[in-house]
Chain A
Amino acid sequence: MPKFVPLGNEALAQGALDAGLSGMYSYPGTPSTEIMEYIRLAPDAAERRVHREWSANEKTALEAALGMSYAGKRAMVAMKHVGLNVAADPFINAAFTGANGGLLVVVADDPSMHSSQNEQDSRTYGRFAFIPVVEPSNQQEAYNLPFYAFELSEKYSVPVMVRLTTRLSHSRADIERGDAIPENALKLPADLTRFVLMPAVSRQRYTRLLGLQSDFEAEAERSFLTRYEDGDNNSLGIIACGIAYNYLRENYPAGCPYPVLKIGQYPLPKRLVERLVEENEAILVLEEGAPLVEDMLRGYPFDAGSIHGRLDGTLPRTGELNPTLVARALGLEAGSRTFDVPEDVIAARPPKLCDGCPHGDTFLALNEALEPYSKGRVFSDIGCYTLGVLPPYNAVNSCVDMGASITMAKGAADAGLTPTVAVIGDSTFTHSGITGLLDAVNANSPLTVIIMDNLATAMTGGQPAPGGGHLEGIVQGVGVPAEHIRLITPLPRQHDTNVAVMREELAHEGVSVIIARRECIETAKRRRRSAS
């Protein structure tokens, strides 16, 4: 077999394919994107005709995966952490219906917010939904995991969450592949009412789910992702969750002197945790993300001060862990650093719009069209165009969650701020802007929506945009009058025309939509390259 050096995301993707995956669903989002990208290009996925189209958003993706699971096949859905906020409704309810074919919900968290608007720990969601969560610590575990997790899901007819973090998602390592197993046959659930969450059914399902919790704990104790490692020095016992285990071992190449409980599955392997706490004087909890396990151990208000981690300052309260921080928490000195760096010769280098990006031309026109009005009336959204907040544009005033530009602008317009502008990307518009536009149309809110249609989901690497080329029809179907749907081409030579169109629509006291359409430079380049 050829050498395989995948990213953590790719290892998981190949593992899922080899474990009989029939359907993969996703909406892009860093750091989860490469899972679907890998499966889209994988020759074995093409040969087997594994379903692998991008979805319009995370909620539609998760629901489609649940449908495939209903039909008895193995399905996986992947998203970034905030994507699970969007998909939270089907996620929680799928724990009630349960799975039929194995169902894995993969969520990649981004501690330190390398490419995200917030930091949240998806293990909390797993606990909230009362389902098992598995967390690989390295690429080999990520590859092996789907074989195990699909089986776990089918054994208890329950969805299983797979939690990743940026560092594992985006790091490569050499790993070994196993033998592929066949896909499931089509097979509906034996009980055809259990997916009907009416109160009478839901109450039964809830009781069943809660009844499974001790089984899930026992599974976590036996899991290949969990390990109790003895140590001679009982002054400290260490809990190392997920990737934090690597940083611990990095600091003790020859073996850790303290007992270590490596945790890769939740709900917590209770008896192993109890053993660690009983046998050691103090506990140090190393976990990537929020201090979830630490908080559970502390047992407010009886904390005797023997639990250390992010909550008592032994480790930073927020952000990504690394071997240096873990070394400090253990009282060790990492590395042999001797070199000083004068701070004043290093400037920050923030990301920016590419040269010639269509969004830049749209912002220049918008800034000019808004000159007669006071500042602070442009609600924006998430995508490359969020970079319009930076100089030289200084063009936008908000970026909260996908779709929030239109709805926040509507609220501000309702409050009397006119004109108000919403600036939203084409992919974000189809992700969750359409429903907000419908609200604005129904209320006839005085609002100008600019859809930055670069024919791509650019920020995450140029995936196809689900509304590609037919946004006018969507907008008209929602009820925006045809005369207030305007198409412009964001190019320097069109600047004056574009400013004029924007001025006209800003003056209109109802909903207008301006579609600024020009392809993203990067995807255009790539298309030309692959054509030549």
Chain B
Amino acid sequence: MKYDMILCGVGGQGVLSIAAVIGVAAVDNGLHLKQAEVHGLSQRGGAVESHLRLSDQPIYSDLIPAGSADMLLSMEPMETLRYVPFLSGEGTIVADNNPFVNIPNYPDLGTIITTLERYPRVVLVDAEGIATEMRAKRSSNMVLLGAASVFMPLSPESLEAAIGTIFGRKGEAVIEQNVAALRQGRAVAQAQTG
């Protein structure tokens, strides 16, 4: 088993928290893990990406080769397009469809969405809307992870347990909120993909 994911978004959106939850779940399942993160300058509101690789065999490269990612998990529609060259022909895109506009030349959102919808396996989720509705605005990253979990080789239970580990210090309420967001995201993606 080998599963390669690109996680992306804008600095401050919680991309690294998604990576941390998957990482804990993977290691709890006895899998090997490599996860390249972005620290430093681009965290200041710039584009951020993380390469996350899971395998039952030792993993060599910290970076995923072009054209071979199984999943592109994105917190932001335009950022999704930036990393499509990493996706394999059989790969799946799961992306939030809410733009994060912090640049004056943000391209036309309609064009971005139609471009995304042309790819064969794409699930666009209103993660921000769902999280807001659940009064858990900060958990939209977990909604998205829930949606992606439909395709991932990790059980929902192990992801939920990992949320407990990662958010443990922040107390029960935060854990519950994030678990609920994960479940809701999963349900929405299941409904969309039938």
Q: A5-B23, A335-B88, A384-B44 are in contact. Are A345 and B112 (CB under 8 A)?
A: yes
Name the residue on B nearest A173 (C-beta).
B34
Are B37 and A349 in contact, CB atoms less than 8 angstroms apart? no
Are A323 and B63 in contact, CB atoms less than 8 angstroms apart? yes
Judged by a CB distance under 8 angstroms, whether A485 is at the interface is no
Distance in angstroms from A345 CB to nearest chain B CB is 5
Judged by a CB distance under 8 angstroms, whether A327 is at the interface is yes
Within the assembled complex, what's the spacing in Å between the Cα atoms of A172 and B38? 11
Are B85 and A172 in contact, CB atoms less than 8 angstroms apart? no
Are A334 and B47 in contact, CB atoms less than 8 angstroms apart? no
Judged by a CB distance under 8 angstroms, whether A73 is at the interface is no
Are B61 and A247 in contact, CB atoms less than 8 angstroms apart? yes
How many of A's residues come within 8 Å of B, CB to CB? 53
Distance in angstroms from B37 CB to nearest chain A CB is 5
Q: CB < 8 Å: which of B10, B27, B79, B119 contacts A174?
A: B27
Q: Cβ of B153: which chain A residues have Cβ within 8 Å of it?
A: none
Are A349 and B10 in contact, CB atoms less than 8 angstroms apart? yes
Are B65 and A324 in contact, CB atoms less than 8 angstroms apart? yes
Are A172 and B39 in contact, CB atoms less than 8 angstroms apart? no
Q: CB < 8 Å: which of B27, B40, B44, B79 contacts A352?
A: B44
Distance in angstroms from B12 CB to nearest chain A CB is 9
Are A341 and B33 in contact, CB atoms less than 8 angstroms apart? no
Contact flags B146-186 to A (C-beta < 8 A → 1, else 0): 00000000000000000000000000000000000000000
Distance in angstroms from A137 CB to nearest chain B CB is 9
Within the assembled complex, what's the spacing in Å between the Cα atoms of A258 and B87? 29
Are B46 and A33 in contact, CB atoms less than 8 angstroms apart? no
Distance in angstroms from A344 CB to nearest chain B CB is 7
Interface centre among A339, A384, A459 (most CB of B within 10 A): A339
Distance in angstroms from B60 CB to nearest chain A CB is 4
Task: Enumerate A164-180 residues with CB–CB distance to B below 8 Å.
Answer: 167-168, 170-174
Within the assembled complex, what's the spacing in Å between the Cα atoms of A461 and B90? 38
Are B36 and A114 in contact, CB atoms less than 8 angstroms apart? no
Are A341 and B89 in contact, CB atoms less than 8 angstroms apart? no
Are A337 and B66 in contact, CB atoms less than 8 angstroms apart? yes
Are A347 and B106 in contact, CB atoms less than 8 angstroms apart? yes
Judged by a CB distance under 8 angstroms, whether B84 is at the interface is yes
Are B103 and A347 in contact, CB atoms less than 8 angstroms apart? yes
Q: Identify whether the interface residues of A are mostly helix, strand, loop, or mixed.
A: loop
Q: Cβ of A461: which chain B residues have Cβ within 8 Å of it?
A: 39
Q: A172-B34, A337-B88, A341-B85 are in contact. Are A347 and B62 (CB under 8 A)?
A: no
Are B46 and A3 in contact, CB atoms less than 8 angstroms apart? no
Judged by a CB distance under 8 angstroms, whether A314 is at the interface is no
Q: CB < 8 Å: which of A174, A250, A346 contacts B65?
A: A250
Are A342 and B115 in contact, CB atoms less than 8 angstroms apart? yes
How many of B's residues come within 8 Å of A, CB to CB? 54
Distance in angstroms from A9 CB to nearest chain B CB is 9
Are B44 and A335 in contact, CB atoms less than 8 angstroms apart? no
Within the assembled complex, what's the spacing in Å between the Cα atoms of A459 and B103? 20
Contact flags B28-43 to A (C-beta < 8 A → 1, else 0): 1000111111111111
Q: A249-B60, A322-B65 are in contact. Are A172 and B107 (CB under 8 A)?
A: no
Judged by a CB distance under 8 angstroms, whether B68 is at the interface is yes
Q: CB < 8 Å: which of A243, A251, A351 contacts B44?
A: A351
Judged by a CB distance under 8 angstroms, whether A31 is at the interface is yes
Name the residue on B nearest A34 (C-beta).
B39
Distance in angstroms from B90 CB to nearest chain A CB is 8
Contact flags A340-367 to B (C-beta < 8 A → 1, else 0): 0110111111111110000000000000
Are A337 and B67 in contact, CB atoms less than 8 angstroms apart? yes
Q: Cβ of A391: which chain B residues have Cβ within 8 Å of it?
A: 104
Q: A170-B36, A250-B60, A346-B82 are in contact. Are A327 and B103 (CB under 8 A)?
A: no
Q: A170-B38, A334-B67, A349-B103 are in contact. Are A387 and B44 (CB under 8 A)?
A: yes
Q: A115-B41, A345-B107, A347-B103 are in contact. Are A335 and B67 (CB under 8 A)?
A: yes
Judged by a CB distance under 8 angstroms, whether A435 is at the interface is no
Q: CB < 8 Å: which of A243, A324, A341 contacts B84?
A: A341
Distance in angstroms from A373 CB to nearest chain B CB is 28
Judged by a CB distance under 8 angstroms, whether B130 is at the interface is no
Distance in angstroms from A319 CB to nearest chain B CB is 13
Name the residue on B nearest A2 (C-beta).
B27
Q: Cβ of A249: which chain B residues have Cβ within 8 Å of it?
A: 60-61
Are A172 and B23 in contact, CB atoms less than 8 angstroms apart? yes
Q: Cβ of A172: which chain B residues have Cβ within 8 Å of it?
A: 23, 33-37
Distance in angstroms from B88 CB to nearest chain A CB is 5
Q: CB < 8 Å: which of A167, A327, A353 contacts B62?
A: A167
Are B68 and A334 in contact, CB atoms less than 8 angstroms apart? yes
Interface centre among A34, A168, A170 (most CB of B within 10 A): A170
Task: Enumerate B66-125 residues with CB–CB distance to A below 8 Å.
Answer: 66-68, 78-79, 81-82, 84-85, 87-90, 102-108, 111-112, 115, 119
Are A351 and B46 in contact, CB atoms less than 8 angstroms apart? yes
Are A30 and B66 in contact, CB atoms less than 8 angstroms apart? no
Q: Cβ of A334: which chain B residues have Cβ within 8 Å of it?
A: 65-68
Are A347 and B78 in contact, CB atoms less than 8 angstroms apart? yes
Name the residue on A nearest B46 (C-beta).
A351
Judged by a CB distance under 8 angstroms, whether A338 is at the interface is yes
Are B68 and A167 in contact, CB atoms less than 8 angstroms apart? no
Distance in angstroms from B47 CB to nearest chain A CB is 5
Q: Cβ of A460: which chain B residues have Cβ within 8 Å of it?
A: 40
Q: A173-B59, A323-B63, A334-B67 are in contact. Are A339 and B85 (CB under 8 A)?
A: yes
Within the assembled complex, what's the spacing in Å between the Cα atoms of A451 and B88? 50
Task: Enumerate A324-338 residues with CB–CB distance to B below 8 Å.
Answer: 324, 327, 334-338
Q: Cβ of B119: which chain A residues have Cβ within 8 Å of it?
A: 339
Judged by a CB distance under 8 angstroms, whether A184 is at the interface is no
**Can you list 6 pairs linking A and B with CB atoms under 8 Å apart?**
A5-B33, A247-B60, A249-B61, A337-B66, A345-B111, A347-B106
Instruction: Give chain A's interface residues, CB within 8 Å of chain B.
Output: 3, 5, 7, 30-31, 33-34, 114-115, 167-168, 170-174, 243, 245-247, 249-251, 253, 322-324, 327, 334-339, 341-342, 344-354, 384, 387, 391, 459-461
16 other A-B residue contacts (CB within 8 Å) besides A5-B33, A167-B36, A334-B65: A3-B27, A30-B41, A33-B39, A167-B62, A172-B36, A246-B60, A247-B63, A322-B63, A323-B63, A334-B68, A335-B68, A336-B88, A341-B82, A346-B82, A346-B107, A351-B42
Of all A-B residue pairs in the complex, the 8 with the closest CB atoms, nearest first, are A337-B67, A335-B67, A115-B40, A30-B40, A335-B68, A351-B44, A351-B46, A250-B61
